[in-house]
Amino acid sequence: MKKIYILVAGFLLCTGLVSCEMKDELLGDNQVSTETGLVELGVWVENKLNVAVSRGEAESGGTGQDTEVDPSDFPVVFQMKDKEYTENYTYKEIEGKTIQLPIGTYIVSSHTPGELTKKMSYAYYAGGDEISVSSVTQTAKVKCTMQNSRIVLSFPADFQNAFSDWTVTLSDGTADILDFTRRDDGVSPAAVYWKIADDCKKIIIDISATNSEGNTVVESRTIEKPAEASDKNWVGGDALTITMEPGAAPDEPEQPTGVSGITIKVDAFFENEEKDIVEVPVEDEEAPTEPGEPDGGDEGDGETTKPGEDGGETSDAPTLSGEYLGKTVSYDKGSEDEFPQVSVIMKAPAGIENVFIKATCSDDLLASILASMGFMDEPDGTDLVTTTDETLTSLLELPKKGDIEYPFELGSLGTLLTEGKHSFTVKLIDKNGKSVSGTLSFDIIDSSIE
């Protein structure tokens, strides 16, 4: 009888062990402790743009953020690390209170309500940290920092009087560019908050404007941080105030409005190595380009004067002109319309040294094709003057060193463009080391695909 009891007890013990093992198998590592602890969480917002806002607001009239950012409506998420357990609040629900959570390690995060997108009308803040909840009440803080960058473009009255139309684009090396056009009300655009691409060291500003004579003036600047910046990349919390001004008036007094250049002034705001927010003016480092001639114009008798001959001017800068320069070409591959004849006329009175073409695109397949031809190479893409790529030599008529003019025809490259947003940045360098650049942008759809 005693043996029977022992056998029964052993059977029940084994059954209990099997049940525990089955429970562990079913729950896996996702079991949450039944023990709890208390946490008091503080959320604060680090706002570094007060100086940028005060300067930008004075010039643009755009909307900026307040000196203090109130995180009351910020969502707060407690996500248990390595387990499927989450608690969601808004900060105003838990501010100054202790909340009860199962014991464990959590990733706690908070951010501006909504989703961070590439282009926004307001600053977006986010932050997170790891905390441990135990039987002892924990006090923790989450610091939210700005994830996008404030961009202000200013077009003063003298610029608006000098030019009848313009398009300005900002590129961070991706296909998602910022573009600004003339407003009929004559007011500079409101501030834009831009999510700059990761590891972006250069921001390219291109402008194409039409002066009162109907000529196209093209300018380009590359903005990089100086040596004292704590981070050489452009990051969230940085800011740019960009002011466009007309260049010097022409020599002929009877044509006082035929402005032949544009001055681009940039004030940049960012942290220096001492973690102080500083304002650094970025100089207008390139001489204004000459205006392009409308409708092809008179190209002269074909004779050229080398720099310095006959006591001539030695500072002739290279120029770019073209109908689509600085603009976005929209095209439907499903339509019966032909792809536009996109071209850029490059002129270098001192002679061409390099012609770089750098591509960005939103389609991975197209990116791989363009990369195989060197268009995605850093920092400036492929040099059409020195390239030996057989595909390129078959698709394009390539320039030669010393040429004073080169028409870059997109041609067959346009037929390669797939659905998405793409761009080609053109950079012309002459034998004197002077350069000018501009961007061709494309927005391609295919209505034939359902």
pLDDT for 97 = 94
User: Are 422 and 366 contacting, i.e. CB atoms less than 8 angstroms apart?
Assistant: yes
Residue 213 sits in a domain of what CATH number? Answer: 2.60.40
User: Are 166 and 210 contacting, i.e. CB atoms less than 8 angstroms apart?
Assistant: yes
Verify that 271 and 320 share a domain, yes or no: no
Provide the whole-model pTM.
0.64
Compute the distance between CA of residue 7 and CA of residue 9 in angstroms, rounded to an integer: 5
How many residues appear in the chain? 450
- The reply to whether 389 falls in a domain is yes
Verify that 109 and 53 share a domain, yes or no: yes
Verify that 335 and 439 share a domain, yes or no: yes
Verify that 167 and 113 share a domain, yes or no: no
- The reply to whether 9 falls in a domain is no
* Three-class secondary structure of residue 34 per DSSP: coil
User: Are 167 and 190 contacting, i.e. CB atoms less than 8 angstroms apart?
Assistant: no
pLDDT for 62 = 38
Compute the distance between CA of residue 383 and CA of residue 375 in angstroms, rounded to an integer: 9
Q: pLDDT tens, 110-135? A: 999 999 999 999 999 999 999 999 99
CA 423 to chain centre: 13
Residue 364 neighbours by CB distance under 10 Å:
10
Residue 329 neighbours by CB distance under 10 Å:
19
pLDDT for 212 = 79
pLDDT for 47 = 79
Verify that 87 and 121 share a domain, yes or no: yes
Residue 76 sits in a domain of what CATH number? Answer: 2.60.40.1120
Element (H, E) at 101: strand 98-102
Provide the token pair at 175: 């296909």
pLDDT for 302 = 32
Verify that 379 and 406 share a domain, yes or no: yes
- The reply to whether 380 falls in a domain is yes
Compute the distance between CA of residue 359 and CA of residue 336 in angstroms, rounded to an integer: 26
Compute the distance between CA of residue 249 and CA of residue 270 in angstroms, rounded to an integer: 34
pLDDT for 124 = 95
Verify that 323 and 436 share a domain, yes or no: yes
- The reply to whether 233 falls in a domain is yes
Verify that 259 and 350 share a domain, yes or no: no
Verify that 154 and 273 share a domain, yes or no: yes
Residue 280 neighbours by CB distance under 10 Å:
14
Choose the final residue of a domain: 282, 299, 324.
Answer: 282
pLDDT for 73 = 95
Count of domains in the chain?
3
In 212-298, DSSP assigns E strands to 216-223, 239-246, 262-271, 277-282
pLDDT for 192 = 93
- The reply to whether 1 falls in a domain is no
Residue 410 neighbours by CB distance under 10 Å:
24
pLDDT for 356 = 93
- What letter would DSSP give residue 292? B
Which stretches of the chain score pLDDT less than 70? 1-30, 48-67, 248-260, 274-315, 450
* Three-class secondary structure of residue 133 per DSSP: strand
Provide the token pair at 23: 């429970």
pLDDT for 260 = 61
The boundaries of the domain holding residue 65 are 36-146
Compute the distance between CA of residue 413 and CA of residue 375 in angstroms, rounded to an integer: 11
Verify that 141 and 153 share a domain, yes or no: no
pLDDT for 182 = 84
Burial of 64 (C-beta count, 10 Å sphere; 0-12/13-18/19+): buried
User: Are 31 and 131 contacting, i.e. CB atoms less than 8 angstroms apart?
Assistant: no
Verify that 319 and 441 share a domain, yes or no: yes
Choose the final residue of a domain: 90, 122, 146.
Answer: 146
Residue 427 sits in a domain of what CATH number? Answer: 2.60.40.10
- What letter would DSSP give residue 172? S
- The reply to whether 6 falls in a domain is no
- The reply to whether 293 falls in a domain is no
Choose the final residue of a domain: 121, 146, 171.
Answer: 146
* Three-class secondary structure of residue 18 per DSSP: helix
Provide the token pair at 15: 């059954």
Verify that 134 and 167 share a domain, yes or no: no
Q: What share of the chain is helix, strand, coil (3-state, %, to 5)?
A: 15, 40, 45
- The reply to whether 206 falls in a domain is yes
**φ and ψ of 419, to 5 deg:** -60, 140
Residue 330 neighbours by CB distance under 10 Å:
11
pLDDT for 86 = 95
CA 350 to chain centre: 33
